[in-house]
């Protein structure tokens, strides 16, 4: 599909760019951090965000976003959600009608409570959704970079574009499924990060699989409840972008959101954890957005609420778990 620019040199953007380069695509990577670009040029390694992984010699890098974007046909957006709007504004004057925008970022904008496609529609106008795709699913960056077979879902309003991307990006390593539930993929991919923080907290308290599996099951109920209210389809939350990604981040210790929750349960502050790593745990910003969304829509989301109380209101993790376990008893299947 012609030349590709991956925007964002974090672990997932780097791994995805490397995957495309190894498939023979004409792909370049842009990163805000000059040390990331320099290390890839000289040592073929992103030592900041994906250390220990040798990158394809075919992967090019560039420091000038506007120049690189002007050359590319596909723009892959892999920046943290809180940086998405500024990046899109930089691209505003450069966007062409033949550009495809493939979003890898998972999160809500905490101030506006918008998903990434909604942010793009505000920046570029609603017509941009004919050029927009979102990719989501159970996919740790390191494992994709190591060639582990991985399956994800891609969603878009433009079925023809969706089919082309599915065909071009699928391989024996990465299998891409099609979906037309863009909102569902965005909600599922964003909220699973909040629940991964909760799972890490459970681990930090020393609880086992009973507790984690119970939380994950109830978490998916919360996620689907909010998603359906926002216009998503229920079945999306039982697919790759839903329960698949949720299980990965809640049971897999490679998740940075899981690790953040675990370290907080072990006694570190949120500020100390965030200062200790250049990597962004998307669940922190998303927790702020989801708390407000749930209140605005009068939707009961007890797990997300307790994560918010621990992160931002000084509640202990042990108290939060106790609160969840002593809520009023109710039927398993409810709509509120």
| pLDDT tens-digit series, residues 75-85 | 999 999 999 99
Q: What is the CATH number of domain 190-325?
A: 1.10.1040.10
The predicted model gives 308-315 an average pLDDT of: 97
Q: Does the pLDDT of residue 2 top 90, yes or no?
A: no
Hey, where are the domains in the chain?
Answer: 4-180, 190-325
What average pLDDT does range 12-23 have in this prediction? 97
Share of residues in the chain with pLDDT > 70 (%): 99
Running DSSP on this structure, what letter comes out for residue 46?
Answer: B
Residue 106 is a catalytic residue: no
Supply the pLDDT for residue 294: 95
Q: Are 176 and 169 in contact (CB under 8 A)?
A: yes
Nearest to 145 by CA among 170, 176, 106, 173: 173
Q: How far apart are CA 240 and CA 185, in angstroms?
A: 9
At 179 the three-state DSSP class reads strand
Which of 132, 102, 136, 114 shows the shortest CA–CA distance to 242? Answer: 136
Confidence tier at 287 by pLDDT (50, 70, 90)? very high
E strand or H helix at 226: helix 209-229
Please say whether the structural domain 4-180 has been given the CATH code 3.20.20.100.
Answer: no
Burial class of residue 32 in the structure, from the number of CB atoms within 10 Å of its CB (0-12 exposed, 13-18 middle, 19+ buried): middle
Q: Is the pLDDT of residue 1 over 60?
A: no
Quick one: pLDDT band at residue 253, thresholds 50, 70, 90? confident
pLDDT of residue 336: 56
The sign of the dihedral angle between the CA atoms of 142, 143, 147, 150 is negative
The arithmetic mean of pLDDT across residues 178-207, rounded, is 97
* Rg (the chain; Cα; Å): 19
Asked whether the predicted pLDDT for residue 112 surpasses 60, the reply is yes
Catalytic residue among 106, 192, 315, 330: 192
pLDDT, residue 335, reads 63
Query: φ and ψ at 98, to 5 degrees?
Result: -95, 0
pLDDT-derived band at 238 (thresholds 50, 70, 90) equals very high
pLDDT surpassing 90 at residue 280: no
């Amino acid at each position: 599909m012609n030349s590709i620019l991956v925007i964002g040199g974090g672990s997932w953007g780097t791994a995805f760019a490397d995957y495309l380069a190894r498939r023979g695509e004409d792909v370049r990577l842009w990163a805000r951090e000059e040390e990331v670009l320099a290390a890839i040029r000289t040592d073929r390694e992103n030592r900041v965000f994906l250390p220990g992984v040798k990158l394809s010699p075919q992967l090019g890098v560039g420091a000038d976003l506007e120049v690189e974007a002007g050359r590319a046909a596909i723009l892959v957006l892999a920046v943290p959600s809180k940086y998405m709007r500024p990046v899109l504004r930089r691209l505003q004057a450069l966007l062409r009608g033949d550009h495809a925008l493939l979003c890898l970022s998972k999160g809500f904008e905490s101030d506006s409570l918008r998903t990434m496609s909604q942010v793009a529609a505000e920046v570029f106008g609603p017509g941009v959704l004919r050029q927009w795709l979102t990719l989501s699913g159970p996919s740790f960056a390191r494992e994709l970079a190591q060639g582990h077979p991985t399956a994800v879902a891609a969603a878009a309003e433009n079925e023809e574009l969706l089919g082309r991307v599915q065909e071009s990006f699928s391989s024996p390593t990465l299998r891409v499924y099609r979906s037309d539930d863009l909102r569902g993929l965005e909600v599922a991919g964003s909220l699973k990060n909040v629940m991964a923080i909760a799972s890490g907290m459970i681990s930090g308290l020393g609880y086992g699989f009973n507790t984690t599996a119970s939380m994950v099951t109830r978490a998916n109920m919360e996620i689907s409840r909010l998603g359906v209210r926002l216009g998503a389809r229920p079945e999306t939350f039982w697919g790759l972008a839903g329960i698949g990604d949720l299980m990965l981040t809640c049971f897999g210790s490679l998740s940075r959101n899981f690790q953040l929750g675990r370290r907080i349960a072990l006694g570190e502050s949120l500020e100390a954890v965030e200062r200790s790593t250049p990597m962004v745990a998307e669940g922190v910003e998303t927790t702020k957005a989801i708390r407000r969304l749930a209140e605005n829509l009068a939707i009961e989301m007890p797990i997300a609420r307790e994560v918010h109380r621990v992160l931002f209101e000084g509640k202990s993790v042990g108290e939060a778990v106790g609160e969840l376990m002593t809520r009023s008893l109710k039927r398993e299947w409810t709509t509120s």
